[in-house]
Amino acid sequence: MPTQAEVDALKAKYAAAQQEHVFTFYDSLSPEEQAVLYNQLSKLDVDRVNRIYKKAVSGLESSTTNLSISPLPDDCFDSVLDAAESKQKEWESIGLKSISENKVAVILMAGGQGTRLGSSAPKGCYDIGLPSHKSLFQLQAERILRLQKIAKDSTGTQGEVIIPWYVMTSGPTRAATEGFFQSNGYFGLKQENVIIFEQGTLPAFTNEGKIFLETKSKLAVAPDGNGGIYAALRYENVLTDLASRGILYVHAYCVDNCLVRVADPVFIGYSISKNADCSAKVVRKAYPEEPVGVIALRNGKFNVVEYSEFDPTLAALTKANGQLEYGAANIANHFYTVDFLKSVERFEGELEYHIARKKIKHVDLTTGELQSPIKPNGMKMELFVFDVFPFTERMAVLEVDRKDEFSPLKNAPGTGIDDPDTSKRDIMNQHLRFVEKVGGKVVAGDGETQDSLTLEISPLVSYAGEGLEKLKGKTVRTPAVIDTVSDIEKVIIS
Ligand code: UTP
């Protein structure tokens, strides 16, 4: 319980910050509720959040023009769609060597609330309807397990190869995520190598810059966006843990991409060979009006330019090879050196938060009644993971094949776009290509047609198409599930 003097001091601080209304109901609360509110308010740096609000709002007012946008320099951009096979092998072996030396970790951004998907559980727990019913978390864990083995075997490493997995959660997703990992035995990974941490939150603001009270004794807060990763790595001691494990490179990605190549050795090796401090995977923008952000230069600095910022002529501009000049679609899939992650603290104050207009449940300060607005009534502030791009010194961008590496789960079942069905379809189509690539054939079994084949290959068997050589010249009949190496023989019919 705070003393009266402590409460008075805190009230004075909030009054100086013009946010004293958060004490409106304080005197009418029970001592327990008072303690809860006091605790929340005393932990919040109200001057910092006011600064964030002001900077975000002033950013909205300063418009950017097309004139400030320019294409990516050629020497910072490569594509696995064009690069020679030998070059890709070279990148892959550099990546595998680093992994085998235990210099690579992965950070998963899983703090979002997945409102569009509409599931009450964290998105990573979602079952996209594969025959195995594996969740997104399980698919990713198994890719890590497989890659540890590939790195160990391909380099002849004697000791254990470990790719530590740092899972960023948020207030709304932490407990459920921890529970899911525990009840699933960390999907075969060692618990000590799965580190679950939590990103920060920021209060929601009214359009006039006042902090919302969600109830009489609680501020309305929300996760501070996937760019909250940088501050969280520091105050959740992830940077210290990375250093103590001797990690030099990090792959960071979003939980909702069912095709994500976790710790992709090709991307890691590419980034190392470019001597990049940060790099980004992109996919080819499909058509000029596609509503995706692209990586380009803004005022000479790397940045993500939103589709709404392009005029149609600029968006349709093509290069000599016929591809879009601004075609590097951002998929929030990054490489960092640990040194770069440490350096973020130096320029953090310069990062500009983005405003998302939202419906914010709150208590009416006059009547004390709870309000559930039907239209956006205020704003949440978020930092995006790519907001650090302008501060990089040696950035590189690698284009990858969308059908092999990017299929996000965003929307509710039945939507038809980026939903559980498209995720499932894209994984099974990829597995079909894996079999065909080694010279196998897949035929439709009972109740299936050639364009809806049920074929699932566990990531424990194949990370990116390797390990399936036994299928060369063989025919597989669907539905077929290859869960272990010994299942390969079982699914062959001729
Ligand atoms: P999205 O912006 O698509 O948000 O996140 P979301 O929570 O998945 O879905 P909606 O918008 O509520 O429907 C892209 C990635 O960034 C992570 C998400 O977990 C996802 O991996 N993220 C987002 C965070 O880690 N923290 C955040 O505060 C927001």
Predicted confidence at residue 155, as pLDDT, reads: 98
Which atom of ligand 1 approaches the CA of 112 most closely? 7
pLDDT in tens, 69-123: 999 999 999 999 999 999 999 999 999 999 999 999 999 999 998 989 999 999 9
- % of residues, the chain, pLDDT over 70: 99
At residue 356, what are phi and psi to the nearest 5 degrees? Answer: -115, 120
Closest ligand 1 atom to 168 CA: 25
- Whether the predicted pLDDT of 345 surpasses 60: yes
Mean per-residue pLDDT, 419-445: 97
Q: Is 79 in the pocket of ligand 1 (CB under 6 A)?
A: no
pLDDT of residue 59: 77
Confidence check: pLDDT of 67 > 70 = no
Centre of ligand 1 to C-alpha 443, Å, is 38
Give pLDDT, residue 214.
97
CATH fit for domain 69-405, picks 1.20.1280.50, 3.40.50.9100, 3.90.550.10, 3.40.50.720:
3.90.550.10
Q: How far is the CA of 224 from the centre of ligand 1 (A)?
A: 10
Which pLDDT belongs to residue 231? 96
Q: Is 114 in the pocket of ligand 1 (CB under 6 A)?
A: yes
d(CA 131, CA 400): 27
CATH fold for domain 434-491: Seminal Fluid Protein  PDC-109 (Domain B) (2.10.10)
Q: What is the CA radius of gyration of the chain?
A: 25
Question: Given phi > 0 = left and psi -120 to 50 = alpha, else beta, which region is 175?
Answer: alpha
Structure confidence by residue, pLDDT tens digits, 210-243: 999 999 999 999 999 999 999 999 999 999 999 9
CB 109 near ligand 1, within 6 Å:
yes
d(CA 444, ligand 1 centre) in Å: 37
- pLDDT value at 267 more than 80: yes
The pLDDT of residue 65 is above 60? no
Q: How far apart are CA 329 and CA 281, in angstroms?
A: 9
CB-ligand 1 contact for 223 (6 Å cutoff):
yes
pLDDT band with cut points at 50, 70 and 90 for residue 290: very high
- pTM for this model (two decimals): 0.95
User: Is the separation of the CB atoms in 428 and 258 below 8 Å?
Assistant: no
Is residue 226 within 6 Å of ligand 1 at its C-beta?
yes
Is the beta carbon of 265 within 6 A of some atom in ligand 1?
A: no
pLDDT on residue 389: 98
Say what percent of the chain tops pLDDT 90: 95
Q: Which of 256, 306, 357, 423 to mutate to test the pocket of ligand 1 (most atoms within 8 A of CB)?
A: 256
Q: CA-to-CA distance for 434 and 167, rounded, in angstroms?
A: 29
On whether the CB atoms of residues 213 and 24 are closer than 8 A, the answer is yes
Which ligand 1 atom is the nearest neighbour of the CA of 255? 21
Is the pLDDT confidence value at 416 over 60? yes
113 CA from centroid of ligand 1 (Å): 6
Determine the pLDDT at residue 62: 65
List the beta bridge partners of residue 195: 166
Nearest CA to ligand 1 atom 20: 254
With contact defined as beta carbons under 8 Å apart, do 420 and 310 qualify? no
**Quick one: CA dihedral 8, 14, 18, 23, positive or negative?**
negative
For residue 58, the model assigns a pLDDT of 85
The whole-chain average pLDDT of the chain stands at: 96
Q: What is the pLDDT of residues 301-334, one digit of tens each?
A: 999 999 988 999 999 999 999 999 999 999 999 9
With 70 as the cut, is the pLDDT of residue 153 above it?
yes
Distance 8 CA to ligand 1 centre (A): 38
| pLDDT confidence of residue 232 | 98
- Tell me if 271 sits within 8 A of 114, measured CB to CB: no
381 CB less than 6 Å from ligand 1? no
Closest ligand 1 atom to 257 CA: 21
Q: Where are the domains of the chain?
A: 4-61, 69-405, 434-491
Residue 438 pLDDT class (50, 70, 90 cuts): very high
53-67, 74-88, 241-255, 383-397: least confident range: 53-67
404 lines ligand 1 (CB under 6 A): no
Whether 265 has a pLDDT exceeding 60, the answer reads yes
* Banded model confidence at residue 450, pLDDT cuts 50, 70, 90: confident
295 bridge partner residues: 304
CA 108 to ligand 1: nearest atom = 21
CA–centroid distance, residue 112 to ligand 1 (Å): 3
